[in-house]
Amino acid sequence: MNARYNPSELACALGLFPPTEEQSAVIAAPPGPLVVIAGAGAGKTETMAARVVWLIANGYAEPAQVLGLTFTRKAAGQLLRRVRSRLARLAGVGLGPVGDAVAEPEGAPVISTYHAFAGSLLRDYGLLLPVEPDTRLLSETELWQLAFDVVNGYRGELHTDKTPAAVTSMVLRLWGQLAEHLVDTGQLRDTHVELERLVHGLPAGPYQRERGPSQWLLRLLGTQTERAELVSLLDALDERMRAEKVMDFGMQMASAARLAAGFPQVGEDLRARYRVVLLDEYQDTGHAQRIALSALFGGGVDDGLALTAVGDPIQSIYGWRGPRRPTCPGSPPTFPAPTAHPRPPWNCGPAGAIRRGPCGSPTPYPPRRGGDRWPCTRCALARTPRPARSAAPCCPTWWPSASGSPTNSTPTTGGPGPTA
């Protein structure tokens, strides 16, 4: 199927600025999986909205066949408003569907958060697990109160000197990690036995005075043994939540992942319903989310599905949730796909490229260290010259000169806090 309109033509018809060459390559990519690595300021939201418009204007999909997923309700609302406004303009110039059809809920694109999407999956298909459709989602406070009640009511043996509140914190922290990595309590129950055998069988280190495990290894073993003792509390909490038909966000996402991976018909239904899928901030998806999305939309089973995963590993903010495999390029990809690297339109031109100066005269872009690898400028504020000197070999160092204009060199002495 040949495209009738290119991205620049659509932007002109909608009264928008034309996209850059890198953005146009993403917008007009043929249907299929696509990974977009875009840094801050590269126009990710605008590019995603323009891609939806391009696919609809060229007849690849209908507005109701568009699914967009992101992390926050604010980001979902911004993307939805931008897509709807573009589609309304598209209908106004006669290049898209009728505006009234797009305005109706059943004819509009679906843009939501990852957790809201997981909740809709469980409502529609949860009985396959089984999970009751009327299961209620707990807030953090409600989950804490429920877990604290389970800990206080526990009558089994527990070797610890911690208070019930501290034990509750440990239970909830471990509960969240198990859900995040799709690990059940049966897998956790005997892990300390193998670790204990390994720790006590290790030879002494070259500088170790005494034979036997070091204090660090003993503390590690104690922590793992303590976790194993929490298995009964975790099972009791799980039984209590199922009896009261409640779940937390971690349990919701883990259940959705098991549903998607265990029942292929769920993915078939969703791929028939949605022909355009946008995954925003994909670098921050956890293991359970990745398993769910891969089972539903990955695997290379539908080459005509316009799946676009957008993210930037350098901007990842959720690594503190626990060790996990990265979800952007650098590991075996969830969605085998070509990768695009759009640059910010206001900076980071390719080395040797020509730009227009304030008076219209051609001005070459300054060469960037490290070649053309990174899609945007990396900046950090250094409070003292020492960290600035450490960062200088990796990126240019800028600070005001005596004349007030910025200079680019490596600081060697103290002075005003430079930025690197």
Closest CA to 25 of 4, 51, 1: 51
224 lies in a domain?
Answer: yes
pLDDT band for position 357 (cuts 50, 70, 90):
very low
Closest CA to 55 of 44, 43, 67: 67
Query: Are residues 168 and 223 both part of a single domain?
Result: yes
pLDDT band for position 254 (cuts 50, 70, 90):
very high
Query: Are residues 114 and 258 both part of a single domain?
Result: yes
User: Is 42 among the annotated ligand-binding positions?
Assistant: yes
Task: Tell me: pLDDT of 209 over 80.
Answer: no
User: Is 285 among the annotated ligand-binding positions?
Assistant: no
Of 214, 244, 274, which residue is a domain's last? 244
pLDDT band for position 378 (cuts 50, 70, 90):
very low
User: Is 292 among the annotated ligand-binding positions?
Assistant: no
Which of 204 and 168 is assigned the larger pLDDT? 168
Q: Is 49 left (phi over 0), alpha (psi -120 to 50) or beta?
A: alpha
345 lies in a domain?
Answer: no
User: What are the pLDDT digits (tens) for 49-70?
Assistant: 999 999 999 999 999 999 999 9
φ, ψ for residue 66 (rounded to 5)?
-105, 130
User: Is 166 among the annotated ligand-binding positions?
Assistant: no
Q: What is the pLDDT of residue 332?
A: 39
Query: Are residues 147 and 101 both part of a single domain?
Result: no
Query: Are residues 150 and 87 both part of a single domain?
Result: no
Give dist(CA 119, CA 73) in Å, integer: 14
Task: Tell me: pLDDT of 362 over 60.
Answer: no
pLDDT band for position 139 (cuts 50, 70, 90):
very high
Residue at token pair 């610890």: 160
Of 313, 340, 367, which residue is a domain's last? 340
Query: Are residues 281 and 238 both part of a single domain?
Result: no
- What is the percentage of the chain residues whose pLDDT exceeds 90? 41
Of 182, 216, 244, which residue is a domain's last? 244
Q: What is the pLDDT of residue 115?
A: 95
Query: Are residues 121 and 257 both part of a single domain?
Result: yes
Residue 340 three-state SS: strand
Q: What is the pLDDT of residue 359?
A: 35
Query: Are residues 226 and 266 both part of a single domain?
Result: no
Q: What is the pLDDT of residue 301?
A: 79
Instruction: Specify whether the CB–CB gap between 379 and 371 falls below 8 A.
Output: no
Which of 359 and 75 is assigned the larger pLDDT? 75
pLDDT band for position 111 (cuts 50, 70, 90):
very high
Report, as an integer, the average pLDDT of 254-260: 96
The residues that bridge with 340 in the sheet, in sequence order, are 36
Q: What is the pLDDT of residue 381?
A: 54
Give dist(CA 286, CA 114) in Å, integer: 11
352 lies in a domain?
Answer: no
Neighbours of 32 (CB within 10 A): 16
Instruction: Specify whether the CB–CB gap between 111 and 68 falls below 8 A.
Output: yes
User: Is 212 among the annotated ligand-binding positions?
Assistant: no
366 lies in a domain?
Answer: no
- What is the percentage of the chain residues whose pLDDT exceeds 70? 71
- Mean pLDDT value across the chain: 78
Give dist(CA 41, CA 18) in Å, integer: 16
Report, as an integer, the average pLDDT of 308-337: 60
Report, as an integer, the average pLDDT of 404-413: 44
142 lies in a domain?
Answer: yes
Report, as an integer, the average pLDDT of 243-255: 95
Task: Tell me: pLDDT of 408 over 70.
Answer: no
pLDDT band for position 186 (cuts 50, 70, 90):
confident
Which of 101 and 93 is assigned the larger pLDDT? 93
Task: Tell me: pLDDT of 259 over 60.
Answer: yes
pLDDT band for position 338 (cuts 50, 70, 90):
low
Report, as an integer, the average pLDDT of 181-190: 87
User: What are the pLDDT digits (tens) for 75-91?
Assistant: 999 999 999 999 988 88
Report, as an integer, the average pLDDT of 385-408: 51
Instruction: Compute the radius of gyration of the chain from its Cα atoms.
Output: 27
Task: Tell me: pLDDT of 276 over 90.
Answer: yes
Instruction: Specify whether the CB–CB gap between 284 and 316 falls below 8 A.
Output: yes
User: Is 402 among the annotated ligand-binding positions?
Assistant: no
Task: Tell me: pLDDT of 409 over 80.
Answer: no
User: Is 39 among the annotated ligand-binding positions?
Assistant: yes
Residues near 306 by beta carbon (within 8 Å), at least 6 away in sequence: 31, 32, 34, 51, 55, 60, 61, 275, 276, 277
Give dist(CA 270, CA 22) in Å, integer: 30
Task: Tell me: pLDDT of 325 over 70.
Answer: no
Strands 66-70 and 110-113 come out as parallel
Lowest mean pLDDT among 85-99, 147-161, 176-190: 85-99
CATH of the domain at 40: 3.40.50.300
Report, as an integer, the average pLDDT of 274-280: 94
Write out the two tokens for 313.
């590993």
User: Is 311 among the annotated ligand-binding positions?
Assistant: no
131 lies in a domain?
Answer: no
CA distances for 151 relative to 66, 155, 223, 244, angstroms: 45, 9, 19, 17
Query: Are residues 14 and 110 both part of a single domain?
Result: yes
Report, as an integer, the average pLDDT of 313-329: 58
**Residue 224 belongs to domain spanning:** 138-244
Number of domains in the chain: 3
Q: What is the pLDDT of residue 414?
A: 41
User: What are the pLDDT digits (tens) for 228-237?
Assistant: 889 999 999 9
